[in-house]
Structure 1
Amino acid sequence: MYKIIIDSCGELTEELKADGHYESVPLEMEVNGHRIVDDATFDQQDFLKKVKESPVGPKSSCPSPERYMEAFKGEAEHIYVVTLSKELSGSYNSAVLAKNLYEEEYGKEKKQIYVFNSRSASIGETLIGIRVQECEEAGMEFDKIVEVVEAYIGTQHTYFVLETLETLRKNGRLSNLKAFVANALNIKPVMGSTPEGSICQLAQARGMNKALKKMVEEAISKVDDSGERILAISHCNCPMRAESVKEEIERITKFKKIIIADTAGISSMYANDGGVIIAV
């Protein structure tokens, strides 16, 4: 038996929630004094309203090692943990500490545990979990699965386009002047993940539609084997925009499968209202 644990920055589709092999470990957020747990109680509309009204940007905190250790319990002998990039959060380090503490207390004989640094976020984590499951269902040994999935992570790319730069401005990651100019000129940055798992700006465009088109072009240009890959799209409160991106991708090339999910709490905090994320 196996279990795939994904911190709550990764979106679990309804299909994955019902699968029985997945568990989400929640991060927490704080918006202007309001503490919000990123679990089944998360209310995206209320959260986005609080973020918009807050004079300061939202903050997040990672799961404790104890919370990860609780997720390790059960009958599963193979435990795979997928976390938000360690360049963006302490979730990875917390999960590694949990693994070490668990093995000290219970030994390594009954369970094999591995923690993947996704070097990604959001739906990128989901794709890694799906890749783990494909390997398990194919009957691979634990160590081989780790090897195959780590190689997959090395080829994965994540991209996103933001509707608004307000959260970056409030968090001090963008000056007031730059944010004002970008908003005044309707400039939308196209962002992406670096090989190490941090965030960089890849391009920019005037208007959301042009920026989304640039993101699609950037994503597809990095993929040589699209027919063998799953591409995933997550969106923050903009399902029609996500469908439009899917249609644009399908117009250009064919993937094995394209999945769409609404962002959970942490991803909603990063993407903000109207943001779209692609992972492939």
Structure 2
Amino acid sequence: MYRVIIDSCGELTKEMQEDGHFVNVPLTLEVGDQQIIDDESFDQASFLKAVAECSTSPKSACPSPNAYMVEMECDAERIYVVTLSAQLSGSYNSACLAKDLYEEDDESKQIYVFDSKSASIGETLIGLKIAECENKGMSFEEVVKTVEEYIAGQHTFFVLETLETLRKAGRLSNLKAAIAGTLNIKPVMGSTDEGSIQQLGQARGMVKALDKMGQCLVDVTENCEEKILAISHCNCLERALSLKEKMESMAKFKEIFIVDTRGVSSMYANDGGLIMVI
């Protein structure tokens, strides 16, 4: 018996929600003086409205160690925790502390915490990889080794519709944000090997930016036909479906699935943003 605990930056597909092996531990979102729990009650429309109306950048607070420990208290003998990149959040450190505290009282379980070095559907894919390994009958150690190797080869990309969140957070000057908005410049972003964020390029207009993002993905991916491609979107399903068609025309993949962003991913991607992971 195993359990996969994923912080709420990682979206669970409908199949994962119904599977019984997966659970989310919520982060807390802060918009002005509002605190929003990123759980099943999350309302994306009202959140995006609040973010647009707030003069300051939204923030997130990672789950407490106790929140992770509550989910570790189950019938599962093997527990895998997947958190968003340690470069972006304290969620990984909190989960590691939870593991240490739990094992002080109960050494009967095998527990491992994965730093996804990604976010959103990157975590989703890692959860699915864990389940695939478990279903093959691998030992706990084999699952950990295989999944860590999978993480090392994973690539995350995203394109933002608006740079307002970056401007409010002070990561982009008002002048640069204004120029980018006037010229309709869309940055193409991606993950580094360490799990931080880098700019891979830029393009004028969303269509060209998505073309560039798709090409970046294909350029770094071998044996596409053996891999699952995941797309998450923030309030832009038609755009996500168009991206799916674009990727199908560029390469053959084992599978492509689309999910809507939960709270933390909505905060990062903002209204109209797209994230793609393979």
Question: How far off its partner does 1:32 sit?
Answer: 1.1
Give RMSD over aligned pairs.
0.5
- Quick one: distance in 1 between partners of 2:67 and 2:165? 28
CA distance in 2, matches of 1:65, 1:153: 23
Cα distance in 2 for partners of 1:95, 1:114 equals 9
TM-score, length-normalised on structure 1? 0.99
Task: Provide the rounded CA distance (Å) in 2 between the counterparts of 1:220 and 1:240.
Answer: 22
Aligned counterpart, 1:47: 47
1:1-280 matched pairs, under 5 angstroms: 1-106=1-106, 108=107, 110-280=108-278
Query: Deviation of residue 15 (structure 1)?
Result: 1.1
5+ residue gaps in structure 2?
none
Give the whole-Å Cα distance in 1 for the aligned partners of 2:50 and 2:250: 38
Tell me the distance in 1 between the aligned counterparts of 2:175 and 2:251: 39
Q: Matched residues in 1 for 2:74 and 2:116: separation?
A: 24
List 4+ stretches of structure 1 deviating above 4 A.
none
Structure 2 counterpart of 1:71, one-letter code: E
Q: How far apart are 1:221 and its partner, in Å?
A: 1.1
Distance between the aligned counterparts of 1:124 and 1:221, measured in 2?
Answer: 18
**Counterpart residue identity of residue 138, structure 1:** K
User: SS at the partner of 2:19?
Assistant: coil
Shift of 1:113: 0.3
Give the deviation of 1:220 after TM superposition: 1.2
Give the CA deviation at 1:261: 0.2
> Matched residues in 1 for 2:215 and 2:26: separation?
33
Q: Distance in 1 between matches of 2:32 and 2:221?
A: 41
- SS of the aligned residue for 1:248 comes to helix
Length, aligned pairs only:
278
Q: Which moved more, 1:219-228 or 1:135-144?
A: 219-228
**What is the TM-score of this pair, normalised by structure 2?**
0.99
Instruction: Return the alpha-carbon distance in structure 2 between the equivalents of residues 122 and 69 of structure 1.
Output: 22
